[in-house]
Structure formats: structure tokens, C-alpha cells
Amino acid sequence: MILNGLDYSIIILYLVATVAFGLYVGRKMKNDDDYFLAGRSLPWWAIGMSLVVTDIGAVDMVGAAGAAYLYGIVLGNYDWLGSVPVMIVGAFLFIPMFYKVKVTTIPEWLGRRYNIQVRTTSALIWGVYMSFGLGITLYATALMFGFLLELSPRAVVITNNEEVAGQIAMSTGAKKTHNFFYNETVEEANEFIDIVASKPLGDKTANIVLLDAEFANAEAINFPEGVPVVTFNASDVLDAEGSATGAKEDSWGAQVMNQARPPAWKLWYSVVLVGVLIGGYTMLGGLKAVVYTDMIQCIVMLGGALFTLFYGIYYVGGFSKFHQTITDMGERTLYHFELIVPMDSGIPHPWTGIFLGLGLVLANAYWLGNQTIVQRTLGARSLADAKASYVFGSILKVLIPFAMIVPGIVALAHAPDIADADLAMATLVRDIMPSGFKGLFFAAFLAGLMSSVDSALNSNATIWTKDIYQQFINKNATPTNLLVVGRVLTAIFLVCAMWFALNVNKFESIYGLTQTLLSVFQGPSLAIILIGMLWKRATGMGALAGLIGGVSFSVILLQTQKYASEDNKLFVSDEPFLYVAWWSFVFAIVATVVVSLLTKPKTDEELQGLVYTRSAKKGN
């Protein structure tokens, strides 16, 4: 069993305590300002910790570790380059601008700077994205739940052919739907079958056994009763056309997996369970409950992840042995300890993309224009607290690559044949952590999950209530009415996210999916925010052209890359989200400037406090 009584006790205690604390903190919600901005009463240290745990969350504990398993320490750039410098700059230049004009959302600021059309377009884009993003988070959670609680369907592979073992999960198209367990000897197979037969939860045995036809002494294996056993030849596996996201209906892989027993515990059970649990206190408690529960979750999550790092390195033989094991893997890990990766490496994170797409666009867009992030500082009790929260958060962000990225590489040293890289962290925890500490890690994962879900729910409800409902449906809504609408929308978004979560397994990497979705609109969004703050000649029509044109250009780039032949690809990487972010940013700037020069700007009086000028700088 992966978790024992002590582990379950820790998990249950943590869940009960966190949910109860969240409900207690948010028990006195009176109006929309309390619900969406915590009555502007939040201290800097609570906001800073909330910023960090919201940023990393459950997707990073699964997806970032999985990406590090595949690509290495280059993922650390997303924190060291993509967070720390930007947060320092944002603390003193951008956050004061938002805070002083007392807005509730980023689209609201865009509406004041430009016009209602820009505000509404931005709100719709963010609203749709956050629903999708929440679905990704719920999927990541269901994935980890199923793995650590041993609820996911199992495929037992019995072969001593290394090439077949490395390919069969992809060939069957079941890499995202089943956990694959590999056995090279009769003894290993019988031991594994005996172990899984004693499981108290979910399936008590495997869902399918895949047996190599050339495997010797197969008759000595104690095949589990009622479980289909499918014999295959090496050529079946090596010649099959499959992918991480599924096999064609008439392919060998699909025919094989159609014979598997259906799972006793389905993915959507976990999605609904988690959504209802966390959605409850978020719907009732608002931003205040979110931030103060995030404070606890930050401590638990960082503590659990850092313990996994240090214990994992110790388990694989110390740092020297760990480093040697990775470097000995040859071409596969050529850049695993490199922060700067060449353009022609084929890795989705080359130095050019990191510098242009991440350093200049995605990082700035995320920390300076992301509603989920900025909303916390807007709820600060003072401007000084708003600034200090970003500075404090940047200090904590220095630790994140050690807590989230390096464990993924440790998992590679420990288990180099994991079929689904998104399960790297879970596999490491399952195999090496002692009793009690597995429960601690699971609590840490729940912390990241709860922060991701509650933050997305609250921010999405804020945008749709303030920027859509109050603007177009009920302009005279009372604070109490807005509070009720916010809670209702929170429930609606939760249901939408659950639906999307059930379709995430159609994508290769949840981390890549998240970054790709962000790259579609983050560049154009950043462009109109920067130009709006720094150039008073920018107009509403210009910003609208930049935003819509930039998003459209992103989609064109992604679709061209997807359907172009190998010789006509626009980018070397199959996941070019960094380049897409950069070029859509450039396109949006050009479109905004050109159209602005052709249209009438607002007067200086209308732009008071919304654009940085020499007099404004002196006033600060």
C-alpha cells in the first residue's frame, strides 16, 4: 500500500483544519468588496505567501516536475528569470499604478485607460482562460489522487525486451489513462500480482496483463483471475502507431486496450470530489479565505517538496551519485544540468525562447497583468503592503526550482522508464518516502491544489461579476447583490472546469498545455498594458486592434506550426509557446501604435493617474 493509516490521518487532519480555517476566516462577508478584495485588509506577508503558492500550485507539482524529468534544470528559468526580477520591478512601477486608482480587476483598469470595448474583450479572454486553467488543475489533481491512492487502472507488462518496455505505453495509446508496471522476470511478475491483489481501494488487481510472446516460462506466472491476458510480439509494439494521447480506433493498441477491464474508480470521481471540497469554502469565504488558507498551504507545500528533494538525493546515493547517474544517460540528458539550452536542441525551452518569450513577455504578462496574481495586491491594507508583498514573494520564489524542478530530475535518476512524465513526482514519493512523510507530501500536494483552485475560482468570479454582470446586466446592482452573484458564478465556473478536466488527457503535457494557452493572449495583453501606462497617445481603438490582432496572430502561428510539413515548420520545437508569446507581443505593439496614430487619444484630464509622466514620477 502506498499510504498507511498514519498517512491518511495526516491528510484528513490537514483537510479538515484547512477547510474549517477558510470558512472561519471568511464567515463575515457583507458585500462585494469583502468578497473580492477582502475589504482591502490583507497584510504583506500573507499576500506574499499567497502569491507564491498560487503561482506554483498543483499543476507545477505535477507538470513542472514532469517537464524537468524530460528536459532538466532549464525549467528553473521560469522562476529565477521569469519571476524574481519581474516581481521586484512590478512592486515599484506597476502595482502602485493599479492600487492607487482602486480598481478591482485588470480589465477594469484597461477600461479606464482605454474604453469599455477593451475592458470587455480582456475580461472575456481571461474569463474563458481561467475556466480552462482550472480544468487543467483539477485534472492534475485527479492524476495524482489516482496514483497515490492506487485508484488508477493498471497495465502490467511482462517482458525482458528493453526496447519494447520503453515503447509499449505509447504504442497502446494508454499512457495517459493507465499506470504501466514493468516486470522482467517470473518472480517480479508474481510478486507484483500478489501485492496488487491485496489493495483495499479501487481495483484489487490489474486491469490488463500484456505478455511478451517470447517471454520464457510464462506458464509459471500466477495470472490474476478474471483479468485479460494479451500476448504480443515485439513487432506489434514497435510497428504500432500510437501516441501519448491515444491510439487510432482500428490500431493494434486500441484493439488491445479495448480488452482491459473497466476501472472501478473513474477519473471524474476525483475531479468532482476535489472540486466540491475546495469550491465550498471559496464560494463562501471569498478572497480573504483564499489568501489566509494559502498562507498555511505555502508552508506545508514548500516544506513537503523540499523534504522530498533532500530525501530523494540521499536515497539515490548523494549528490555526486545523483549527478553521475543523470550524466551517464548520454544523449537523453545532454542538457539536463544546463540553464542555457541551444536553439537547435529540439527542447521547448531554448535560450532564445527563454529570453524573448519568457524574460520579455510571459513573465511580465503573468506578474504584471494576471488577474489571479494582481488581485491579491489590490486587497492589501496599504500601498506599502502591496509593494512589500511582491518583494517578499520574490524572495520565496528563489526556492521554487529546488522544491519543484530538481525533484523531477531526481525522479529520473531513480526511475528512468516512467511512461508518463507527469507522474515523475508521484513515482518518486511512492517509491522512496517513509510512512507518514507520504501523507505529508500528499498534504503538500493538496495545499498546492487548493491554492490553485480557490484562486482561479475567486478571480474568475471577480472578472465576470465586475466586468460583465455589473457592466451589461445590472449596472445598479447593490454590494449585497454582487456578493450573491459572485458566489453563484463561482459554482458555475467550477462545473465548467470539471467538464474541461475530463478532456485534458488528450494533450501530451499539462505543463506545455498551460503555457501554450497563456502564450495565445499574454503577449497582446502585456503589450496594451505597457503602452497604456507609458504612452499617453495610445487610444482605445489602437488597444483593441492590438489585443484582438495579437491573439489572432498567436492562433495563426500555432495552427501553422501544427499543420505544416516537417520542412516548413516555423519553429524547431513542437511546443513553440515561448516564440508565439514573443511574436504576438511584437505584433500587438505594432498594431496598437499604428492604429493609435490614426485615431483620437484621450485628454490629459481623462488620463490622470493612468499614465506615467514626469510629473507623476515626481509625485511618487
Whether residue 70 is found in the same domain as residue 22: yes
Whether residue 12 is found in the same domain as residue 92: yes
406 near 412, Cβ under 8 Å? Answer: no
Whether residue 313 is found in the same domain as residue 389: yes
Answer yes or no: is 450 within a domain: yes
The pLDDT value given to residue 614: 59
Please list the alpha-helical segments (H only) found in 161-260: 162-172, 186-196, 234-239, 252-257
Distance (Å, rounded) from C-alpha 63 to C-alpha 46? 26
Domain count across the chain: 2
Parts of the chain with a pLDDT under 70: 1-3, 22-23, 25-32, 34-35, 57-59, 144, 147-148, 150, 193-205, 241-247, 278, 280-289, 447-451, 505-509, 511, 614-620
pTM, to two decimals: 0.77
Distance of alpha carbon 528 from its chain centroid, rounded? 25
Distance (Å, rounded) from C-alpha 85 to C-alpha 82? 7
Answer yes or no: is 101 within a domain: yes
Q: How many CA atoms, within 13 angstroms, populate the side-chain half-sphere of residue 584?
A: 34
The pLDDT value given to residue 1: 45
What does the radius of gyration of the chain's CA atoms come to, in whole angstroms? 25
Whether residue 276 is found in the same domain as residue 134: yes
Whether residue 276 is found in the same domain as residue 256: no
169 near 87, Cβ under 8 Å? Answer: no
Answer yes or no: is 130 within a domain: yes
35 near 423, Cβ under 8 Å? Answer: no
Whether residue 108 is found in the same domain as residue 226: no
One-letter amino acid at 525 equals S
Whether residue 288 is found in the same domain as residue 246: no
- Out of 211, 231, 264, a domain closes at 264
Answer yes or no: is 521 within a domain: no
Distance (Å, rounded) from C-alpha 385 to C-alpha 392? 10
Whether residue 299 is found in the same domain as residue 424: yes
How would you write 424-455 as a 3-class SS string? HHHHHHHHHCCCCHHHHHHHHHHHHHHHHHHH
CATH number of the CATH domain containing 458: 1.20.1730.10
How many Cβ atoms from other residues are within 10 Å of residue 53's Cβ? 28
Helix 437-463 to helix 371-378 angle (10° resolution) is 80
- Out of 461, 489, 506, a domain closes at 506
595 near 546, Cβ under 8 Å? Answer: yes
Answer yes or no: is 609 within a domain: no
- Out of 243, 264, 285, a domain closes at 264
Please list the alpha-helical segments (H only) found in 101-185: 106-113, 116-148, 162-172
Q: Is 123 exposed, middle or buried (0-12, 13-18, 19+ CB in 10 A)?
A: buried
379 near 291, Cβ under 8 Å? Answer: yes
Distances (CA, A) of 500 to 151, 215, 488: 21, 41, 19
Distances (CA, A) of 203 to 155, 174, 177, 196, 197: 12, 17, 14, 8, 8
The pLDDT value given to residue 276: 77
CATH number of the CATH domain containing 259: 3.40.50
379 near 50, Cβ under 8 Å? Answer: no
The grid coordinates of residue 38 equal 477582502
Whether residue 192 is found in the same domain as residue 335: no
Answer yes or no: is 350 within a domain: yes
Whether residue 254 is found in the same domain as residue 286: no
Answer yes or no: is 502 within a domain: yes
49 near 396, Cβ under 8 Å? Answer: yes
Answer yes or no: is 593 within a domain: no
Range(s) of the domain holding residue 123: 5-148+269-506
409 near 69, Cβ under 8 Å? Answer: yes
Whether residue 143 is found in the same domain as residue 211: no
Whether residue 132 is found in the same domain as residue 280: yes
Distance (Å, rounded) from C-alpha 288 to C-alpha 290? 5
